[in-house]
A and B are shown apart, each in its own frame.
Chain A
Amino acid sequence: MKKTFWIILHSISVLLFIAGLSILYLGSPYGYGVSWISDERYEDSAKFSAQVDEDIEKLLNYTRLADAFETEGSLDMDNIVVDTERNGEYISYTLRELISTAQKYGYYFNPTTHDVTTVSSGTVPADDGSLRISYKYYDPDYFDDLPYGPGQGVTTLKDLAVEVVNELSEYYDFKDNYISKPCNLSFYIRYTGEFGDQRYYTNTSTPLKKLQSTQKYILVNGSDADADTNIDPVPEKALTFLSLIPNDDDDAAGNYLFVSVNTAFPYDDAYKTAAEDFSSDLFMAYVAIFLLIAGVLLAVITFIPLIRFDLSRPKGDIMLTASDKLPFGIYIILSVVAYALFVFVCDKTALRVAHVLFPMDQWVYWRRILHAVLLYGISVNLFTDMLRRYRAGILWSGSLTAGLIRSLNDYISHAKLSLVLILTYGSFVLINVAGAALFMYFCLSDSSSTVNELAATAILVLLGVADIIVFSALFSKAKSEKRIEKAIDSLSSGEIDHMIPLDELKGRELITAQKINHISTGLRDAINEQVKSERLKADLITNVSHDIKTPLTSIINYVDLIKREHIDNERVNAYIEVLDNKSKRLKTLTEDLVEASKASSGNLKLEITSIDFVELVLQTNAEFEDKFFMRRLELVCNVPDEPVIIEADGRRLWRVLENLYNNAAKYALEGTRVYVDIIREEYTVSFTIKNVSASKLNISPDELTERFVRGDVSRTTEGSGLGLSIAQSLTRLQGGEFIIEIDGDLYKAIVRFPVKKEDAENSDTPEEPDSSTEVIEND
């Protein structure tokens, strides 16, 4: 696997980096940065300077002790080193007394090794109570460093003795290492002591000037604030020498501190060891830096193929693992959890191993390295994962944030109106409340200055302007909505020509208006198309019927002419009768066909006027009197006395009734009654005609009104079968309701119209039809 190879290489680079870092961190020059590797020699390095500094501190400490412990250049055991006071009694202790006191308490000063050892054998006497320090000869500044107050400087003799023997051990430490035996460090120190006495110490016989010209040195002169030195960086401790010099000393120029180091390192001491270590340190540092750079370079180099591994592939070719299905946000959280888990496990296992392998002072470092490596690994994994997602195009779309935004968008688009309303109203209220509060603040503030008045006025004006803007926005919104509402109303009431003017509309209203316009345009097109096709159909039928009528005229005429010949042949006469019947039926059929197609397509002009339904029914009754009489049908008519005014086209409504009466006349059982009623309801008036069918009505009412469907298909009549269809279409065209009911042999047709408004108001409570039943006697 190519990818695995790069991953391994990358891991190696990380290890190199860690190795380099560890060498630098754990190596002896830690704390001096890395700039020191540019120093070719030890004596040029900061480490050397630090060493000199350390030695200067030791030297100054030595001189302080030597002042107290020495007489004429050698240790004097009888020198008084401390003055004390116990219960008002002043006691001064010599060095010898204190050494023996310490010994009494088990602290033994070895005169040959100059070490202090604790002897725990034998009985140790109890501490003999506290005493107060008056003056420490070996520490003249003792009280300067203490904050003043009661109980200060109170100690016990034991503690004092132990302190002194420890100081003595320190004194010897310096003296043994730097004075008694030859060393690379040379010093001259000369200053005025506490009691005006001149102090002078040195460990060399070589003249100062010579040392200054050949060695690394530092010279601090009492009259000068700056040190004269060729050591870089300057050992700052040397300057504390200046504080030792009393301020009132006239002979400040005579006080000086000189320290020099022989850079040839002829003697075996700390300098020589450090100088020898320096080259190996330098080498290790170079190695470490090389490792660091190599690690970083290799990491970068190996990281590029890792990135390219995913980026170079075509978008669709990215292998998506199961983890990629998780939203990126969740993946990040999981990575953090994984890191925490790894840290926990590593602390319990790998760190224990490190504790075994490395010294204690390095434990913290190794722990840090371990955690850093884990963090790095997980970060790299996360980064490459992110790249892969980016490349696959699911970084954003698959992320938790995107999901959140998506669902928020979803919410907003669904709850848009209420949200917008809430936001608008909320901001409106907010602005007003804030403005009012500010206004009150400026009005009620104590200092009624011009500025305050101006501010209050400005706020009032701004508030007014803001409110007017909000009001006008709301107003125009309401106006737009009203406009849209109107359009929807007219659309629903069938005014498909209505278009919303789009000017002045904005945002959501504009979109809604455009959509509504689109709907009405589509609707209009569809309806126009339908009307057009219906009209075409009606025109076709009309034209065809015209063309049929001309030959039909000849047929009817010549049949009639034959009949006039009075042919004396029974069979021929019967044939002619058939021809006569059929040609006349064809005539009816063509006429009804035109009417039916026009009525159903609405392709005729209505002349709607106010008519009296009762009058119409009476007129119709009269027209059909003979026809009913011929078939021995009794017409039972039940109509109100008062006129019932409806809005309709009289001639068309007559056609409706004519067809219904015709139906009754044709299909009612001979010798039965035909019932005609007008029933006035609150807002409507219903006309019903009922008769008993002569033949079985095994057909549904719907089928009856369908074109070319007839209740009785077996019987030969002159009907076209279009009568009910025409009646239904015409009724509906005039805004009426047409219902056919069949109950066994009882056939019932209902024509219902709304009563004209003023008329309906005039008689809110419809009178009971004063049933003046009119029976037309057919005799």
Chain B
Amino acid sequence: MQTILVCDDDKEIVEATSIYLNGEGFEVLKAYDGYDALKILETRSVDLIIMDVMMPGLDGIRTTLKIRETSSVPIIILSAKSEDTDKILGLNIGADDYLTKPFNPLELVARVKSQLRRYTQLGNIGGNTGSSVYRCGGLTINDDNKEVYVDGELIKLTPIEYNILLLLVKNAGKVFSIDEIYEQIWNEEAIGADNTVAVHIRHIREKIEINPREPRYLKVVWGVGYKIEKQ
């Protein structure tokens, strides 16, 4: 059984979170500020930490920094602060994911699972390092058997969706416009404006992303095109 440390100064949120996580079969340790969390970490081994930012005493950012001094355990920040700068700060100091309050409990659970899978199973999948395996963060594509994994979980895609994703992953970081993708996949000149490609991409996003509105892998560059974030 995997152990998850939930750290938040709001007791009810800790309680609710632990109910959800218990329901998924996780053991939950509760901490109500940064010092609590650090104390627990001294005695217990933890598989994942859910950390609030605004807490009395030691806040979430400083606690995360402290933990990162000794441990690489996955940390998901759960904060009421929803600004881009807050997210960037949280991810930069060593957090693995960032979720804003009020959160969807299902999304939280999904992210927790995703992080755990990556943390524990990454080595297994990565073992098969053929020339036809493309990896980008938790996203892995094996071109030999046309399989796509997200955090170790197999994802089912249509052939067109697969080809689009493969094109983007092969060229991770490069932005493809709708027309470019169309020309590459259909092998013909794009005639007129068409949102077929955009619809396909939305479908891919819905399949590989936990929250398609805030994609981790397949990002929309508005007014330019789409890309896979290089990780």
Q: Which residues of B contact A555 (CB under 8 A)?
A: 102
Bound-state Cα–Cα, A622 to B203, Å: 9
Chain A nearest CB from B45 CB (Å) reads 27
Q: In whole Å, how far is A457's beta carbon from the nearest beta carbon of chain B?
A: 75
A243 at the interface (CB under 8 A from B): no
B225, CB-defined interface residue at 8 Å: yes
| Least distance between A86 CB and chain B CB atoms (Å) | 145
Question: A619 contacts the other chain (Cβ, under 8 Å)?
Answer: yes
User: Are A549 and B101 in contact, CB atoms less than 8 angstroms apart?
Assistant: yes
Question: Is B202 a contact of A625 with CB atoms below 8 Å?
Answer: yes
Given A546-B81, A549-B101, A553-B13: A615 and B224 interface contact (C-beta under 8 Å): yes
- B54-A560 in contact (CB<8A): no
If A616-B222, A650-B221, A653-B222 touch, whether A776 touches B102 (CB-CB below 8 Å) is no
Contact A619 B222 (CB under 8 A): yes
Q: Interface-forming stretch among A12-20, A287-295, A606-614?
A: A606-614
B51 on the A face (CB < 8 A): no
B229 to A: closest C-beta gap in Å: 15
Q: Tell me whether B222 and A654 are in contact (CB under 8 A).
A: yes
Give the complex CA separation of A243 and B10 in angstroms: 149
In the bound complex, what is the Cα–Cα distance between A72 and B36 (angstroms)? 174
Within 197-225 of B, Cβ neighbours of A (below 8 Å) are at 198-199, 201-202, 220-225
- The residue from A561, A651, A774 contacting B193, defined by CB atoms under 8 A apart: A774
Q: List residues of B (134-171) whose CB comes within 8 Å of A's CBs.
A: none
Given known contacts A557-B13, A611-B222, A653-B223, is B193 in contact with A552 (CB within 8 Å)? no
| Interface size range of chain A in the complex | 35 or more
In the bound assembly, the distance between CA atoms of A653 and B221 in angstroms comes to: 11
Contact A550 B177 (CB under 8 A): no
In the complex, A52→B103 CA distance in Å? Answer: 146
Specify the chain A residue showing the minimal Cβ separation from B86.
A546
- A-B contacts, CB under 8 A, total: 112
A83 within 8 A of B: no
Interface residues of B in 99-115 (CB under 8 A from A): 100-103, 105
Q: What residues on B are CB-neighbors of A587 within 8 Å?
A: 102
Distance in Å from the Cβ of A648 to the closest Cβ of chain B?
7
Taking a contact as CB atoms under 8 Å apart, the answer to whether B195 and A622 are in contact is yes
For A776, the closest partner residue in chain B by CB is: B195
CB of A614 within 8 A of CB of B81, answer: no
Q: Closest chain B residue to A546 by CB distance?
A: B80
Check if A558 is an interface residue, CB within 8 A of chain B: yes
- Taking CB atoms, residues of chain B closer than 8 Å to A623 are 198, 202
Contacting residues, chain B, for A29 (C-beta < 8 A): none
Q: Is the Cβ of A641 less than 8 Å from the Cβ of B103?
A: no
What string of 1s and 0s marks CB contacts (under 8 Å) between A641-674 and chain B? 1000000101101100000000000000000000
In chain B, what residue has the closest Cβ to A594? B82
Interface assignment of B192: CB less than 8 Å from any CB of chain A: yes
Are A611 and B102 CB-contacts (below 8 A) given A549-B80, A558-B12, A618-B194? Answer: no
User: Cβ of B223: which chain A residues have Cβ within 8 Å of it?
Assistant: 611-613, 615-616, 619, 648, 650, 653-654
Q: Does B89 make an interface contact (CB < 8 A)?
A: no
In the complex, B16 has a CB within 8 A of chain A: yes
Structural contact, A556 and B102, CB atoms closer than 8 A: yes
Interface centre among B17, B83, B100, B199 (most CB of A within 10 A): B199
- Complexed CA–CA distance, A616 and B222 (Å): 6
For A557, list chain B residues within 8 Å (CB).
Answer: 12-13, 16-17, 20, 102, 105
A692 on the B face (CB < 8 A)? no
Q: What CA separation (Å) do A547 and B54 show in the bound complex?
A: 10
On whether A618 and B101 interact (CB within 8 A), knowing A613-B223, A650-B222, A650-B224, the answer reads no
Chain B residue numbers with a CB within 8 Å of A550 are: 10, 13, 80, 101
* Chain B residues within 8 Å of A641, by CB: 191-193
Question: Can you list 8 residue pairs at the A/B interface with Cβ under 8 Å?
Answer: A546-B80, A549-B82, A554-B16, A558-B12, A561-B16, A591-B82, A612-B223, A654-B220
